[in-house]
A = this chain, B = another copy of it.
Amino acid sequence: MSFELTILGSSAALPTSKRFPTAHLLKAGERFFLIDCGEGTQIRLRQYGINPSRIHHILISHLHGDHVFGLFGLLSSLGMMGRKVPLHLYGPHSLEEFMNSYSRFFGPLPFDLEFKSHAENSDFIFESDKLTIKAIPLKHRIPAFGYLFREKKKPLNIRKEQIEAFGLGMADIVKVKRGEDFVTDSGTVIPNSQLTLPPFHQRSYAYLSDTLFDPQLAEIVKGVDLLFHEATFSDRDKKLAAQTQHSTAAEAATLAKMAGVKKLLIGHFSSRYKEPLLLENEAKEVFENTTGVNDGDIYSIPPERLSGE
């Protein structure tokens, strides 16, 4: 099962010739989740060979143009491509009104939008048998939310040779897959770890954009495999970061360090920096395993069995 992030746009508010405004695509198993939808998202999808019709879930962190101006174009194209199945849209309350203005000017879409607000009172804004998504309140000029994607625990895989060796029946197998030990007719206890393969690690991706540095977020994204944290500004423009309620590269890295994440991605670079390597270097001084993202980058987390058996 794949768990793979594609960067569709890595600029901040002003796009550049090489960086489109913010959009990320997470492929978890066979599901595609589009996170933010800056102008040109549908064009990037085509350029990177991804069929937009495969997307059934779009999450909009907040209603600033550089995170949402691609939505009308993408949805309109999906309609023209013959979409009939509903599309799930997650975002602030105002996103629903914004979509109403689409219908007002461009007519109704030929498919339903199932809207879910960030503020809805539940642990997860999305939950399937394989994945959960949690909305994380951020500190920005308008209501904004980040997201934590985490795989669910998978059922244990039984070692096939042990079924025969211990003569396990169907009922026994179900129990062992749930994690129980097996007791033989003679009363010997065979520990579960001897009967099953080590469980898979639950992969995770957290997306935090746009936000002020907020140390409270560290607890929420603790230990994730991949953390994307916006890094709009260099340390030398710290004041500007505070004024506009954005983060510096060093702040993003500080959060990654506090949270003990495995890898940090930074992006949402202000177009004032001709060479975003500067921002990557600032972050690396605080947290070594940092990468400054570019449009088209793919970050894949392979499935891995936990070795702690």
A residues adjacent to B (C-beta < 8 A): 13-17, 20-21, 39-40, 42-43, 46-47, 63-66, 69-70, 72-73, 76-77, 80-81, 94, 97-98, 101, 104-106
Contact = CB atoms under 8 A, between A and B. Distances in A.
A98 to B, nearest CB: 5
Taking each of A21, A40, A97, which has the highest tally of chain B beta carbons within 10 Å of its own beta carbon? A40
B80 A73 contact: no
Nearest to A20: B43
Contact of A15 (B13, B17, B43, B106): B43
A39 B70 contact: yes
Contacts of A70: 39
25 contacts: A13-B77, A14-B80, A15-B42, A15-B43, A15-B73, A17-B46, A17-B47, A20-B43, A39-B39, A39-B40, A39-B72, A39-B73, A40-B40, A40-B43, A63-B105, A64-B106, A65-B72, A65-B73, A65-B106, A66-B76, A69-B72, A69-B76, A98-B105, A101-B104, A101-B105
Contact of A14 (B39, B65, B77, B98): B77
Contacts of A14: 77, 80-81
Centre residue among A69, A97, A98 by max chain B CB count within 10 A: A69
Nearest to A98: B105
A57 B213 CA distance: 40
Nearest to A14: B77
5 residue pairs, one from A and one from B, having the closest CB atoms: A39-B73, A101-B101, A17-B47, A40-B40, A69-B73
A201 B124 CA distance: 68
Contacts of A65: 72-73, 76, 106
A81 B14 CA distance: 9
A81 B63 CA distance: 20
